[in-house]
Amino acid sequence: MKKIGIPFLFLFLTIQVIAQTYQPTWESIDSRPVPQWFEDVKFGIFIHWGVYAVPAWAPADADIGIYAKYSEWYWWRINEESKAGKLFRDYHNSMYGENFKYQDFAPLWKAQHFEPDHWADVFKKAGARYVVLTSKHHEGFTLWPSEQSWNWNSVDIGPHRDLCGDLTKSVKDAGLHMGFYYSLYEWYNPLYHNNLGKYVDDHMIPQMKDLVNRYEPDIFWTDGEWDHPSEKWKSTEFLAWLYNESPVKDRVAVNDRWGKETRGVNGGYFTTEYDLVHDRDGVGEVERPWEECRGIGTSFGYNQIETPDNYMTSDALVDLLIAKVAGGGNLLLDVGPTADGRIPVIQQQRLLDMGSWLEVNGEAIYETRKWEGSTSNNTENIYFTKKGNDLYVLCTEFPEKPITVEGIKNAGKVSMLGFDGNVKSKKSGNRITITPPVLTPLTNPSPYAWVFKIENSL
């Protein structure tokens, strides 16, 4: 037998150290870092599209709480005994009749105008760097030909298309990261209610592995975890497979919705939803990357009765993106396509406005990190991000007086992104005072928010 050379042995041991094997425990799973690419991309598009796009209704202006305004919960609400349930049920019965079942909507979902290349183009022009599609919402209808959802998927009924596959190809061809939302539970699946263990082993986990093996997503975004602890969902077992054996083991990012106890505690990056973690405000001060998800309006799924008053303005959306990124997070902004496969024009317009702003100011967003070291004389409308030794001062309202920034080590060049003129500044000690330039309609780089860059200042 030949002796193993020392260089080869060293290489072998190095590979073993790098290729860590993750165990099916939260201690081990949580030790895996969130891939850096996820922290760099900052802005993503969420897509809620399912059978619920046919009725496409929720009481947007009713005083019933945030969650009850989600149109994608239509099936659940029409069967719920609550104030919200009555509103949904009265609408359903008046429009379709008491004998019209939710399942009857499925053949009406045609997606005849769905053009995945167009969707991907809109998302790219919006400045988004990743996309997360609902592969299966709580209704159990899958957007790919899942063997576990026979005759309740987009190939067997309705669109008769592999929507997950079609959009994945277009998004990846556009150079964006592609991911999937997947609901662990299903409202009305008899197996889920009668035999949870069999549901998890024979239905849920095979579906999740099928999604990963078929489409190789960069994000796996779970939801619907709140009925049971992660042990019942066998979440750590699935994640150990995902991190050790799957075709995306080295790059996939996951969220924190893996059991009733895991949000903001275990998993990958932490998530908020309309700034809430369940009914708790925000994620607090966390070491992990995090992401805010919300709709442009009051719902994730398309709601046909929403008016412009229900939608955030382009200005407000840019401000939202700035606030989340400056706080160390990402923004996953949702669009709700129509049943025929179109992204509503008002949603496209909002996205394209954000893209125009990011074309000018994107360097203050992408690949940046939260900066902890400053105070300013106008903190309400001023945010900070950093990249390397450069600091960005993001103003959601144009400053009417000089801005003083504390915590500056060096006096580097000061400029306004998108503005060709000079920006006056003065450094004194560890502070710098920036005098905003006078802008004209011809020199104003943005209608929404303005960014000063202080080079080599950290």
Task: Answer whether residue 16 shows pLDDT above 70.
Answer: no
- The pLDDT-based confidence of 6 (bands split at 50, 70, 90) is very low
More confident site: 25 or 409: 25
- Give per-residue pLDDT as tens, 187-230: 999 999 999 999 999 999 999 999 999 999 999 999 999 999 99
Angle among Cα 147, 341, 217 to the nearest 5 degrees reads 50
| Token pair belonging to 273 | 């939803």
- Domains of the chain are 28-364 (3.20.20.80), 371-454 (2.60.40.1180)
**What is the rounded average pLDDT of the residues 326-331?**
96
Read off the pLDDT band of 372 (50, 70, 90): confident
The pLDDT of residue 19 is 63
Say what angle helices 205-215 and 235-244 make with each other, to 10 degrees. 20
**The whole model's pTM is what?**
0.94
Dihedral angle of Cα 58, 50, 152, 193, to the nearest 10 degrees: -50
pLDDT at 9 over 70: no
pLDDT, tens only, 387-444: 999 999 999 999 999 999 998 988 789 999 999 999 999 999 999 999 999 999 999 9
11, pLDDT greater than 50: no
The answer on pLDDT for 446 being more than 50 is yes
Residue 171 and residue 164: Cα distance in Å, rounded? 10
How do residues 247-260 score in pLDDT, each as one tens digit? 999 999 999 999 99
Does residue 7 have a pLDDT over 70?
A: no
What letter does residue 267 receive in the DSSP assignment? S
**Integer Cα distance of 89 and 80 in angstroms:** 8
- At 4 the pLDDT is 42
Tokens linked to 88: 């949904």
Which helix (H) or strand (E) element contains residue 53?
A: none
- Cβ atoms of 344 and 302 within 8 Å: the answer is yes
- Indicate whether 15 pLDDT > 90: no
What phi, psi does 232 have (nearest 5°)? -70, -35
Say which residue the tokens 């996953």 belong to.
332
Q: What is the pLDDT of residue 136?
A: 98
pLDDT of 1 higher than 70: no
78-98 CB burial, b ≥16 within 10 A, e <16: beeeeebbebbbebbeeebee
Q: Which residues contact 279 (CB under 8 A, 6 or more apart)?
A: none
Residue 411: the pLDDT is 76
**pLDDT tens profile 89-124:** 999 999 999 999 999 999 999 999 999 999 999 999
Q: How far apart are the first and last CA of the chain?
A: 58
Percent of the chain whose pLDDT exceeds 70:
94
Average pLDDT of the chain to the nearest whole number: 93
Side chain identity, residue 48: H
CA 223, CA 360: separation in Å to the nearest integer? 35
| Rounded Cα distance, 157 and 146, in Å | 12
CA distance 306 to 302: 9
User: What is the pLDDT averaged over residues 232-249?
Assistant: 98
Give the Cβ contact number of residue 65 at 10 Å: 10
Q: How far apart, in whole angstroms, are the C-alpha atoms of residue 279 and residue 1?
A: 65
What is the pLDDT, as a whole number, of residue 14? Answer: 38
pLDDT category at 285 given cuts 50, 70, 90 is confident
Query: Torsions phi, psi of 77, nearest 5?
Result: -65, -35
pLDDT above 80: residue 32: yes
